[in-house]
Structure 1
């Protein structure tokens, strides 16, 4: 039974070759996996929560995310030490080893929803920036998203993800450039004396804004499902926790400084995507265009785990699969057509959902408050408590329980506040 379940497991995230990545390569992979478009929404989160509350919130989320990533690594090491016949390579594997088939389905379902949310956020981000860039054309936000559909369908049909991987790095470079321009604007306004700390809120009087900002902060720490793949790819896996701590510390500090700088620069005028606040000059427009191009080519990578799950179901249909399953080309012609159609349908559905999203900030906070909170905090703590059981010290059980219940509370309360409105 265990072997059958494993054979149908969906590899949600492709692991790099085991034990081949150097320290520097692993560092780069961690940064690319974690840092995403959500960082450009942090100044808006600081506007909602206040610069002091926002800074503390990002620090707490960063620390909690790091701790829960370590829990996943510890759970896999525990299974390996116990001589588990099935190696835990993915989040779904840990779910299966903890709670059986239900645990696998729940873990993979949440990652599927999170990937869908991230993909929709990409489309919303691109659409809002394109609308800002081409203001004179008077096209609606929805029109820009629908124009992307044929392009994204064509890109989703590309067989090799490695051909698109450099664009993910390119998008991160554009993120850094955008952050640099925002910081420059902040320094310029500080020098010119156009704002003071008294004009900026340190801690919001609207407590409902704190979960909203927290959801945005959780959304910023992307790539949680890549933890096991990153650790497995490193040559010296014993050094992974220390490297992860150093990287997380640096990323968290950068997030805090950027959120602070963006809010200080634009105050109550801060938009949900801070690039929309940038002046319309060649450098700002170039960064916005670069961000859009990078995300257009990175979108198929975000959608890939969704396609994998759908295609595993399709390949079970007998008309889609040849009788000789050992063949390298086991799909029938009808099966190949079905996969092309399914990928097109996935892109179209995500585009329709994106066209219904009111704003990037609200949606990012909603995704962060719901599935991201469950994946990042609730499930790791639950797996750790289940797999280690009575061997844990009282303080470890207490800490895991605090993370678990805070994650659940944050998910429920944050979702309510996002839906009701800040």
Structure 2
């Protein structure tokens, strides 16, 4: 636990209707006695006057006190709910900073103290970070499940079973001649170890959907110059994010738009038009477009239905939806029908024709790619790597039954350590600064 008392603005930037200043640490009671003259009744909002050390009034607001260890950080915690003016918040922070043993909190430091006190494990910390960053409903649900201890509960159950299996092995190793420790005592452990390995394998066999939901899927828009890529991006974003011009080569860099489609996060990327001519900067734009498409979840290949068709080399790994654009420029209904048959979809970004069908197609694709069931608890590559290491160690212990029991017991120890890394029980010090650095000041 921290020897210093930390404080920070825990709500959004000022000005705002209400600003919340959070305090945590051993000096919290002293701070309340100094700035509001007393410590309020725990967990009850009290209307108090907040003043400086010299008694100059700052504001009048609600004050809450949460005595440790039953608080977010496990320490004494206070919250000052103030009017959200810049001057009010600045004066309050200045007053707290002038108290002995008080200092401004660093990014993620409140959550770090919650981890250090055992109030949260590492998977819950990561879930909390994801909850703060969640942009869509599906991301929110997944992050809330993680922050609520979904993965922790599963891992702790597995850990208890591993510890029991190791205890049975150690009993046979240490007391082979004791009557109450029969020689076959370890046999009862191996069946559960095998079942445990299968359960971990089932959790990992989810197509990386948890990680993909955190990051969202990426849709790259490719096409020749003036195929309507930027117009489509603007229509999807419902604002002008890309320059639209008849001049070829207008778009030279990648332009990203974040969308929420059916609760799933989707990034649509506008790219430079693909053609053989062009200067050095435009060629670099085309190179980036091709490279981005190679790693995309989906490619939208746009073709101007009023222009002569042109071949474009597409990435082999990414699924492609062929979209005919500028269909509104075709007057004949019969000709429109004939042209439409040659594409997966046809759109007219400037008029909105076909955009609903395109959005539906993107939403369905995102849903199929990212739909997360209750078993998809692995949301980060770090968690997956630790579980893969755990299962590999379990399989090492199970595969070679002729190996000395001491070595098989060592395999189970390695499995336990790897499992502990998921929740932060062992060997995660090098990761902590990175993980807690994801948080904003005041969290």
**TM-score normalised by L of structure 1:** 0.21
Q: Which has the higher contact order (CA 8 A, sep 6+)?
A: 1
User: Which has the larger share of helix?
Assistant: 1
Larger Rg, first or second structure (1 or 2): 2
**TM-score normalised by L of structure 2:** 0.21
